[in-house]
Structure formats: structure tokens, C-alpha cells
């Protein structure tokens, strides 16, 4: 009975579906794309319509670029069916394109055109573009210096932290001696060492490397240790009855079992090492994005500051993406890991 | 089935090892007070025997298995496998625990390969892993991860992980305890046929009298903690056995009586 009435309901509903105007269907599919296009056209117009209140050289190019993006958004989403996965990806992100276009329009109008926001502190989009085109060599040098410093310190911190963590988790004797030191020194923010580090180390670069390694090492140590310590005894029993020697128990049982914890430590270490990196570059090292920020502030070059901030955020986010990709590869056996 | 098993037994005459448990006592320290768990236990197991250890829960059966496996050392008494003292774990005595305890980061194949890898002979003996997986019927799951397996499948993998080492004594610590009743009955039959084919000595801890009687040719009943041997019962019935067999039903009644459960039966 109920099946019959259900199919009946469907049958009477079907014509209504097919009578849905094609236009509405099309609007649902591509409407957001059209909106995105309109938002970016508005941004382009906002660049070109009024005169700039200041002297910026990239206003015209930015306006043209906005029109190009508007065109891509329009044709990309309307023709998404012919563009395969790129089209699908674009359609999925179309709402973000709308928001971004609207935000840029507002920003453009509020800064470059009517100066509703006080000017040197809130530069318009075109002045940030100007930084990327005109100050590129210096910015790239800074990126390179930051990445080098961060990578060196982080890798040292990870290696030392991981080995220490495994040793404490595995050996009671090592734990006896290292644990109190860890408790005493570890919770101290690495930046507190700054004054000491900069006069005890031969160079500001080695001092910063040490500080970044310290900031990374503590969470990596603690989480590796807790990971190794929390491995169920049942795993060791199984391995021992199958003839495993102690080295096998460490390398093939303890470490793989602790790996999910280790990755939490690597993630936390990455976060705290970014903080130390920027502070170290602002105070001691004469290179890197932190230094660039400081330098830009000294010259009241606020556009340069925003430009450097954007690059920095992309780098940090990229590093975390990379870490998560490595984790997903190594921990495929886990179910339900967080998507970054 | 029986004749086939006999033929197998003739071709592998010495596949199992003898096990001697001589006046073994053991105790745990819990907050400074001594808790005796085994008291003067002596059992002599013939090569190739299937012995079930039956007793109330928490009586110390599992402790005895850990001693046989060499995972712990007894406070008093001696354990011997074929005349040699048991002092540490050895792959000739492999344990299958109540939980499959598969390593979640290893695929099924890698889990089964664990013993050979730990002994450093995996490279030359890879076929043994495939054979063991075939034996438990999970060859097609070789690349699966443990979290993708059902409880029964996981326990089969654990069994394959033990059998790949060609143990002389297979130690089973309630390996079917957590399975649903259907899977349990199937796996009981599989255990018997594996034991008949391979001829290893089997020690099975269980708290299920029926399971003990369907599987073992000897049932040893333990007392409450500290565990003492209360009865040593021979089960002379051919395999495969039937749960409804009146002889087994009678033995079951006797055993439940020994465990103090006659009023409920």
C-alpha cells in the first residue's frame, strides 16, 4: 500500500520537475559564476572609474586584470561542463570568487578612491601589487632566508626531539635524567632565550637556528615520548613471543605505534617555530620576512608590510599542508584523519 | 576426516613438543601485598595433545599461559619444552591472545610476516606467509589494514601470524571469546582441522566447557584463585565432535559440577 502511494506521489511530482524553467536550472548551475563575474567587473570599474587620491602606478593594470578574472569566472563556470575537473573546481569555488571580488571592490573604494580609511596605514590593493612587481628581488631574498633558517632549525629540532622522545619513552634510565631537565626548560618560551642566545652564539644565524630548534624540539619530544609510553604492552608481548629482539621492539613496534602522536608534536612544533622565526628575524637576524616587516615598518612602507604578511601566511600554510600530506601518506592505516 | 588426520599424524610424527609444568607457583605483587595466582600446578602434556584449561574467570589460567610462553617467570617450579627449560619467549611457542592485537599500521600480509621478520628470515621465506594466509582463507585480504577486517577475520589473521612460525606448541588464550556464536562455531572447526593437519601441541584457555569438550582431547579443570588442578579429564571421542553427543553432555555436567554450577544445570 505504502509503496503504491509513494510511487503515485513521485509520478505526480515528476511533471512538475520537468516543467521547471530551463532558466532556473541554468541559474542554479551557473548563477554564482555570473555573480562572481559581476563582482570582479565591479572591482575593475572601481579601479578605473574614479581618479586615485594618491600616486599609484598599477591602478590601470589592476583594473584590466580584474576584467580578465571576471571573464575567466564567467566562461569558466558557464562552460564548466566542457572543462573537466578544472571546471568543477572553479564552480565549487565560485562563491569565494564572489566574496573576494566584493571585498576587493570595497577595499579599493575605501582606500584609493575616497580614503575612508586613513591612508598610509591602509594601502589600496594596487600598492600591494606594486610591491610584488617593484620590490620582488628583496622580497624573494627574504623568503629564501626565512625558509633556509626555518628549515635548518626545524629539522634539527625534529631530529633531536624525536630521538630524545623515543629514548625517554623507552629507557627508564634516560627518563630519570632527561625528564627533570625537560620539565625545567621545556615550558619556557624559546623567545625568552633570545638575549642569552644572541651573545652566546657566534652568529645571529646560529642563535636563531638554536631557538627554532628549541621551540620545535619541546613539543616533538613530549609527544613522541607520550606516544612511545602509551604503546599497549600487548603489542610487545605479541612481538616477543614471535621472537623479536629489543631493537625490533623499538624500531618496528614502538615507533610506528607512536607515529600518530609524533605527528601532533611535529604540527605543534611547526607552529611554535614560526613564532620564534619571526621574532628572531625582527630582533637579531638581518634577513628574512620578519626582518622585511621590521624594515618596512621603519620606513612606514605599509604596503610592503601587507605584502610580506601575505607571503608569510602562504608560506606557513604551505608548510602545514606539506606536513599533513606527509602524515596522510605515512598514516594511511588510520581511519578518519583530519583534512587540512 | 579422522583417517585423513591419522595419515597426517603419521607423516608429521614429531610436529608437536612435549610440555612439562612442574610444581609451578606464581604470585602478583599488588600494592605490596602478595596475591597468589597459581599454587603447585603440575601438568604433563604429550606431544601433539590438545589440552583445554578450564576454570572460573580470573583464576590464573592466563597467567599460566604467560609462563608457558616465557613472557613471565614463575616464582617457584619449572616449565620445560622437550626437556629444555623455558626461560624466555621463543617462536616455537606462539600465543594467540583474546584480542587479535594485530598491528594497525601493518597490512594483513605484513602482520602475518611479523614473526619471520623479527627472526630475520623473511626474505628467504616469503612463501610461508602466503601459505599461512591461504590456510586461514584470507589470501585475498593480504593488502587490507586491520581496521577493515571483521572480528572473526582479524582473529584468523592472528592465527595465521602464529602458524607461520610452525610452532611446536600453540598457546590459545580464549581466542574465540569475543566472537559472535556463529563465527565461533566455524572457527572451532577450523582450529581442530588445523591442529589435526599440523600436529602441534595445543594449549587452550577457555571458560566455556562446551568449547573445551568439542575441541580438546584433555580438559584440565582449575579451582578458584590460587589455581590448583582440580580434575584432569580425558575426552576420548573422535573428531568432528557433535555438540549434542550425550557422552560430551554428561562430561559437561560433571565439569560444571566441579566448577560449582550444578544447581543451574
The residue assigned the cell 571469546 is B177
- How far apart are the C-alpha atoms of A187 and B161, rounded to whole Å? 44
**The pLDDT of residue A340:** 56
**Do A145 and A111 have their domain in common?**
no
**Is B98 a member of any domain?**
no
**Do A112 and A150 have their domain in common?**
no
- How far apart are the C-alpha atoms of B89 and B92, rounded to whole Å? 9
Which of A234, A252, A259 is facing B97, going by the closest CB pair? A234
Is A253 at the interface with chain B, CB within 8 A? yes
**Do B48 and B179 have their domain in common?**
yes
The residue assigned the cell 562455531 is B185
Is A243 at the interface with chain B, CB within 8 A? yes
Tell me the average pLDDT of chain B. 84
**Do B158 and B213 have their domain in common?**
no
Kindly state the average pLDDT of the residues B27-32: 84
B135 in Cβ contact with B191 (< 8 Å)? no
B21 in Cβ contact with B79 (< 8 Å)? yes
- How far apart are the C-alpha atoms of B246 and B48, rounded to whole Å? 26
- How far apart are the C-alpha atoms of B204 and A6, rounded to whole Å? 57
**The pLDDT of residue A272:** 92
**Do B231 and B177 have their domain in common?**
yes
**Is A127 a member of any domain?**
no
Kindly state the average pLDDT of the residues B204-218: 88
A10-19, A65-74, A188-197: least confident range: A10-19
- How far apart are the C-alpha atoms of A82 and A211, rounded to whole Å? 52
Q: Residue A216: give its domain's CATH number.
A: 1.10.3720.10
The range of the structural domain enclosing residue B84 comes to: 2-92+169-264
**Is A10 a member of any domain?**
no
Mind listing the pLDDT tens digit for each residue in B214-253?
888 899 988 887 888 888 888 888 888 888 888 888 888 8
Report the percentage of chain B scoring pLDDT > 90: 12
Mind listing the pLDDT tens digit for each residue in B72-102?
888 888 888 888 888 888 888 989 988 889 9
Sign, Cα dihedral of A86, A89, A94, A99 = negative
Tally of domains in chain B: 2
Going by C-alpha positions, the residue among A202, A329, A340, A173 that lies closest to residue A271 is A340
**Do B55 and B178 have their domain in common?**
yes
**The pLDDT of residue A4:** 45
Is A336 at the interface with chain B, CB within 8 A? no
Chain B residues inside the 8 Å CB shell of A331: 105
The range of the structural domain enclosing residue A49 comes to: 23-120
**Is B250 a member of any domain?**
yes
Q: How many CB atoms lie within 10 A of CB A168?
A: 23
Do the strands B201-206 and B169-173 form a parallel or antiparallel pair, or are they unpaired?
parallel
**Do B134 and B220 have their domain in common?**
no
Rounded to the nearest angstrom, the gap between the alpha carbon of residue A74 and the centroid of all alpha carbons in its chain is 28
**Do A249 and A168 have their domain in common?**
yes
- How far apart are the C-alpha atoms of B208 and B219, rounded to whole Å? 11
**Is A14 a member of any domain?**
no
Radius of gyration of chain B (CA): 18
- Kindly state the DSSP code that residue A113 receives in the 8-state scheme: I
Q: Give bridge partners of residue A179 from the DSSP assignment.
A: none
**Do B182 and B83 have their domain in common?**
yes
In total, chain B counts a number of residues equal to 265
Kindly state the average pLDDT of the residues A110-118: 87
Please identify, among A60, A88, A120, the residue that sits at the C-terminal boundary of a domain.
A120
Please identify, among B166, B200, B217, the residue that sits at the C-terminal boundary of a domain.
B166
Please identify, among A120, A144, A166, the residue that sits at the C-terminal boundary of a domain.
A120
Smallest CA–CA separation between B91 and chain A, in Å?
5
**Is B56 a member of any domain?**
yes
pLDDT of B13 above 80: no
Smallest CA–CA separation between A233 and chain B, in Å?
10
**The pLDDT of residue A40:** 93
B180 in Cβ contact with B151 (< 8 Å)? yes
Mind listing the pLDDT tens digit for each residue in A119-164?
788 988 888 888 888 888 988 999 999 999 999 999 999 999 999 9
- How far apart are the C-alpha atoms of B25 and A332, rounded to whole Å? 46
Is A331 at the interface with chain B, CB within 8 A? yes
**Do B160 and B175 have their domain in common?**
no
Q: Give bridge partners of residue B33 from the DSSP assignment.
A: B30
Task: Check CB contact under 8 Å for A242 and B115.
Answer: yes
Tell me the average pLDDT of chain A. 86
C-alpha cell at A68: 580578465
**Is A178 a member of any domain?**
yes
B7-16, B102-111, B112-121, B193-202: least confident range: B7-16
**Is A146 a member of any domain?**
yes
- Kindly state the DSSP code that residue B227 receives in the 8-state scheme: B
A10-14, B13-17, B22-26, B144-148: least confident range: A10-14
**Do B54 and B67 have their domain in common?**
yes
Please identify, among B166, B188, B215, the residue that sits at the C-terminal boundary of a domain.
B166
Q: Identify the residue among B68, B107, B113, B114 best suited for mutation to test binding to A, counting A beta carbons within 10 A and taking the highest.
A: B114
**Do A204 and A263 have their domain in common?**
yes
**Is A340 a member of any domain?**
no
**Do B175 and B256 have their domain in common?**
yes
Relative orientation angle of helices B181-198 and B2-11, to the nearest 10 degrees = 40
**Do B17 and B37 have their domain in common?**
yes
- Kindly state the DSSP code that residue B145 receives in the 8-state scheme: -
**Do A174 and A311 have their domain in common?**
yes
Tally of domains in chain A: 2
Which of A235, A240, A332 is facing B103, going by the closest CB pair? A235
- How far apart are the C-alpha atoms of A157 and A150, rounded to whole Å? 10
**Is B97 a member of any domain?**
no
Chain B residues inside the 8 Å CB shell of A260: none
**Do B177 and B147 have their domain in common?**
no
B209 in Cβ contact with B252 (< 8 Å)? yes
B158 in Cβ contact with B96 (< 8 Å)? yes
Please identify, among B142, B166, B190, the residue that sits at the C-terminal boundary of a domain.
B166
**The pLDDT of residue B72:** 87
Mind listing the pLDDT tens digit for each residue in A214-257?
999 999 999 999 999 999 999 999 999 998 889 999 999 999 99
- How far apart are the C-alpha atoms of A210 and B5, rounded to whole Å? 69
Kindly state the average pLDDT of the residues A194-199: 86
On the 0-12 / 13-18 / 19+ scale of CB atoms within 10 A, A317 is: exposed
Sign, Cα dihedral of B249, B255, B258, B262 = negative
**Is A238 a member of any domain?**
yes
**Do B86 and B7 have their domain in common?**
yes
Q: Concatenated DSSP letters for A275-294?
A: HHHHHHHHHT-SSSHHHHHH
Task: Check CB contact under 8 Å for A239 and B117.
Answer: no
The residue assigned the cell 559472535 is B180
Is A329 at the interface with chain B, CB within 8 A? no
**Do A165 and A232 have their domain in common?**
yes
ipTM comes to: 0.85
Amino acid at each position: 500500500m505504502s509503496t503504491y502511494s509513494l510511487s503515485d506521489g513521485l509520478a505526480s511530482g515528476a511533471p512538475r520537475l520537468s516543467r521547471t524553467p530551463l532558466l532556473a536550472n541554468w541559474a542554479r548551475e551557473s548563477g554564482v559564476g555570473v555573480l562572481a563575474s559581476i563582482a570582479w567587473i565591479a572591482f575593475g570599474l572601481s579601479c578605473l572609474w574614479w581618479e586615485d587620491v594618491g600616486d599609484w602606478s598599477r591602478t590601470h593594470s589592476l583594473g584590466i586584470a580584474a576584467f580578465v578574472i571576471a571573464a575567466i569566472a564567467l566562461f569558466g563556470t558557464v562552460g564548466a561542463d566542457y572543462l573537466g575537473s578544472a571546471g568543477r573546481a572553479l564552480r565549487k569555488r565560485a562563491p569565494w570568487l564572489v566574496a573576494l571580488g566584493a571585498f576587493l571592490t570595497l577595499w579599493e573604494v575605501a582606500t584609493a578612491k575616497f580614503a575612508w580609511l586613513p591612508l598610509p596605514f591602509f594601502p589600496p590593493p594596487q600598492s600591494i601589487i606594486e610591491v610584488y612587481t617593484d620590490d620582488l628581488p628583496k622580497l624573494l631574498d627574504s623568503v629564501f632566508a626565512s625558509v633556509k633558517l626555518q628549515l635548518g632549525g626545524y629539522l634539527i629540532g625534529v631530529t633531536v626531539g624525536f630521538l630524545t622522545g623515543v629514548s625517554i619513552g623507552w629507557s627508564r634510565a634516560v627518563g630519570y635524567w632527561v625528564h627533570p631537565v625537560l620539565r625545567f626548560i621545556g615550558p619556557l618560551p624559546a623567545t625568552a632565550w633570545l638575549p642569552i642566545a644572541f651573545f652566546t652564539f657566534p652568529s645571529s644565524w646560529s642563535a636563531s637556528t638554536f631557538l627554532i630548534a628549541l621551540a620545535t624540539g619541546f613539543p616533538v619530544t613530549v609527544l613522541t615520548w607520550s606516544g612511545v609510553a602509551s604503546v599497549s604492552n600487548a603489542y610487545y608481548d605479541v612481538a616477543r613471543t614471535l621472537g623479536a629482539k629489543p631493537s625490533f621492539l623499538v624500531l618496528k613496534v614502538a615507533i610506528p605505534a607512536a607515529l600518530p602522536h609524533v605527528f601532533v608534536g611535529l604540527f605543534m612544533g611547526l607552529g611554535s617555530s614560526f613564532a620564534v622565526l619571526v621574532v628572531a628575524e625582527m630582533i637579531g637576524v638581518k634577513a628574512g620576512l620578519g626582518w622585511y616587516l621590521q624594515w618596512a615598518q621603519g620606513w612606514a612602507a605599509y604596503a610592503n608590510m601587507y605584502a610580506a604578511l601575505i607571503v608569510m601566511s602562504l608560506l606557513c600554510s604551505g608548510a602545514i599542508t606539506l606536513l599533513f600530506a606527509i602524515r596522510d601518506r605515512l598514516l594511511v592505516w588510520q581511519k578518519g584523519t583530519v583534512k587540512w | 576426516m579422522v583417517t585423513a588426520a591419522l595419515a597426517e599424524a603419521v607423516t608429521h610424527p614429531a610436529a608437536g613438543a612435549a610440555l612439562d609444568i612442574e610444581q609451578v607457583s606464581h604470585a602478583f605483587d599488588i600494592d605490596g601485598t602478595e596475591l597468589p595466582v597459581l599454587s603447585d600446578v603440575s601438568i604433563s602434556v604429550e606431544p601433539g595433545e590438545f589440552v583445554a584449561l578450564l576454570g572460573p574467570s580470573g583464576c590464573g589460567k592466563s597467567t599460566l599461559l604467560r609462563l608457558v610462553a616465557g613472557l613471565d617467570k614463575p616464582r617457584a617450579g619449572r616449565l620445560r619444552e622437550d626437556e629444555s627449560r623455558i626461560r624466555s619467549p621463543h617462536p616455537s611457542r606462539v600465543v594467540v591472545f583474546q584480542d587479535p592485537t594485530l598491528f594497525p599500521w601493518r597490512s594483513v600480509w605484513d602482520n602475518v610476516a611479523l614473526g619471520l621478520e623479527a627472526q630475520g628470515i623473511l626474505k628467504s621465506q616469503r612463501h610461508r606467509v602466503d601459505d599461512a594466509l591461504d590456510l586461514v582463507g584470507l589470501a585475498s585480504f593480504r593488502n587490507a589494514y586491520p581496521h577493515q577486517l571483521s572480528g572473526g577475520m582479524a582473529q584468523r589473521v592472528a592465527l595465521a601470524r602464529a602458524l607461520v612460525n610452525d610452532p611446536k606448541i600453540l598457546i590459545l588464550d580464549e581466542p574465540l571469546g569475543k566472537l559472535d556464536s556463529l563465527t565461533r562455531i566455524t572457527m572451532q572447526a577450523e582450529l581442530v582441522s588445523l591442529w589435526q593437519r599440523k600436529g602441534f601441541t595445543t594449549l587452550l584457555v577457555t571458560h566455556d566447557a562446551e568449547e573445551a569438550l568439542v575441541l580438546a582431547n584433555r580438559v584440565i579443570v582449575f579451582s578458584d584463585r590460587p589455581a590448583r588442578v582440580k580434575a584432569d579429564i580425558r575426552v576420548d571421542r573422535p573428531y568432528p565432535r557433535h555438540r549434542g553427543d550425550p557422552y560430551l553432555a554428561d562430561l559437561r555436567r560433571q565439569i560444571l559440577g566441579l566448577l560449582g554450577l550444578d544447581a543451574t544445570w
